[in-house]
Amino acid sequence: MSRYTKEKILDLDRRHLWHPFTQMKDYEDRDPPVIVAAKGLQLQTIEGQLLYDTISSWWVNLHGHNHPELNEALIEQLHRLDHVNFSGFTHREAVEVVDRLRGFLPQELCRFFYSDNGSTAVEVALKMAFQFWQNQGFKEKTRFIFLENAYHGDTMGAVSVGGIDLFHRLYRPLTFFSYKTRAPYCLRCPDKPAEGFTLDAPLPDCSLTCLEALEGILKEKAVEICAIIVEPRLLAAGGMIVYPKEYLKGLWELARKYDVLVIFDEVATGFGRTGTMFAMEQVGVVPDIVCLAKGLTGGYLPLSLTVATEEIFQAFYDDYLAGKTFFHGHSYTANPLACAVAIANLKLFAKERPLEKGEPVRLHFQRQLRRLFGEEPYVGDIRYLGYVGAIELVADRATQKAFPVEARVGFKIYMESLKEGLVLRPLGDVIYWFLPLCVTVSEIDEILEKSRGVIRRVI
């Protein structure tokens, strides 16, 4: 019997721990669930309650918790090699991940730089893009363009290209200046046609004025700009905003036209979450750099990759004294344990083909979202892409007026959802489901029915 009883864990937690993205005072008079185990889609609390992990443990889990093949790969690796620094050494595990991943990525993306989480993958991409130009003598190119509502992580470079005021505004004095462009946020588009806007087809006659805004910046500032960074098809933390393919294609074309690099941040969208292995496949354009993390290890261990084209790599490749080395690295770069699970994850994709098999499940998910939430008076918008679904809550459906911040509707829904056996962790007033690829039709039905019950009770 462990001396860490539930009471002791909660007491120590309250006195000494500081949780991410959490106002700790919210837990003054309530306890967070203590999780002791997990299997498949469910987490188990210390009291034995089961909770549906509807956000895949912050968007990382793909094949369910406690997966036998991922477990096995990790245990097996433990007996061989735990860790070794990755500068001056290499190992089979790091190479095998890349070898297998190449089969899923466009061939142009062929140079892989390891780090250990999504934010560091983005930091690497930003520094790489900047130095790509510096190494070639384009000294003025020091700025980036990012989207309103974009989220690329919490380290300072990533915050510099973050577009969510609530998270990023305070830190502006510490970050480097970048240009913010309008988000393709169809629900709140200032130019959307007043007539014909429906939840199912939000863009009947779209003229993509959001792209014109981007071109406006590029026309004036391209000489200063290293790269545009964007989350392909889905602004995830910005409110699960699914946006039209035409926008991403147009952004890529503008980047080519004005000679700036494109960075796709596939940290959240990668590894099947949007219904294709990578969201960029839906548009058929290849960026100069792509950032991968979260699902890379199936949700087991922190590991990330920043993948660049040969052209990027060549701008760094020279005699040491030419001063073009990329001076960046982390202690746990290419950790072999994490690599071993990443290999097992990629093997599962090849062997079980979850994306091909999952098509009916994804369609069912979308149908159920519309069926269960389409007529609810508090739903302003329904969005979905692959295994991601979201509803935007509004106080008034006719005017799309948001709930007052003080109402803390999202937080109340979160607390209520725990009682009901699921985790609805909202983004402001956006309630979303970020499901793993192994989710079944009956799990979807149960999760969505329960979710609707919770939301109705709170609102």
| Annotated binding-site positions for pyridoxal 5'-phosphate | 118-119, 265, 330-331
Q: Show the binding pattern over residues 291-310: x = contacts ligand PLP (CB under 6 A), - = does not.
A: --x-----------------
Q: How far is the CB of 2 from ligand PLP (least distance, A)?
A: 29
Q: Concatenated DSSP letters for 160-178?
A: HT---HHHHGGGGGGSPP-
User: Does residue 119 belong to the site contacting ligand PLP (CB under 6 A)?
Assistant: yes
CA angle 11, 17, 18 (to 5 degrees): 135
Kindly tell me which of 237 and 307 has the beta carbon lying closer to ligand PLP: 237
Dihedral over Cα of 104, 105, 110, 115: its sign: negative
Q: How far is the CB of 121 from ligand PLP (least distance, A)?
A: 7
**CA–CA separation, 445 and 115 (whole Å):** 38
Q: Which residues pair with 144 in a beta bridge?
A: 227
Question: Which pair of structure tokens corresponds to residue 180?
Answer: 């913010």
**CA–CA separation, 304 and 265 (whole Å):** 11
Q: Show the binding pattern over residues 234-273: x = contacts ligand PLP (CB under 6 A), - = does not.
A: --xx---------------------------x-xx-----
Interface positions, 160-219, toward ligand PLP (CB under 6 A): none
User: Does residue 151 belong to the site contacting ligand PLP (CB under 6 A)?
Assistant: yes
Instruction: Count helices and strands (H / E) in the chain.
Output: 15, 15
Q: Show the binding pattern over residues 366-405: x = contacts ligand PLP (CB under 6 A), - = does not.
A: ----------------------------------------
User: Which listed range, 81-89, 106-114, 116-124, 215-223, lies at the site for ligand PLP (CB under 6 A)?
Assistant: 116-124
405-423 in b/e burial notation, b at 16+ Cβ within 10 A? eeeebbebbbebbbeebbb
Secondary structure class of 214 (helix, strand, coil): helix
- The single residue among 54, 77, 117, 160 that binds ligand PLP, judged by CB under 6 A, is 117
Nearest to 448 by CA among 350, 360, 344, 374: 374
User: Which listed range, 103-111, 113-121, 368-376, 419-427, lies at the site for ligand PLP (CB under 6 A)?
Assistant: 113-121
Q: How far is the CB of 434 from ligand PLP (least distance, A)?
A: 10
Inter-residue contact 230 to 373 (CB < 8 Å): no
Kindly tell me which of 18 and 89 has the beta carbon lying closer to ligand PLP: 18
Q: Which residues of the shown chain bind ligand PLP in the complex (CB under 6 A)?
A: 59, 117-119, 122, 151-153, 231, 236-237, 265, 267-268, 293
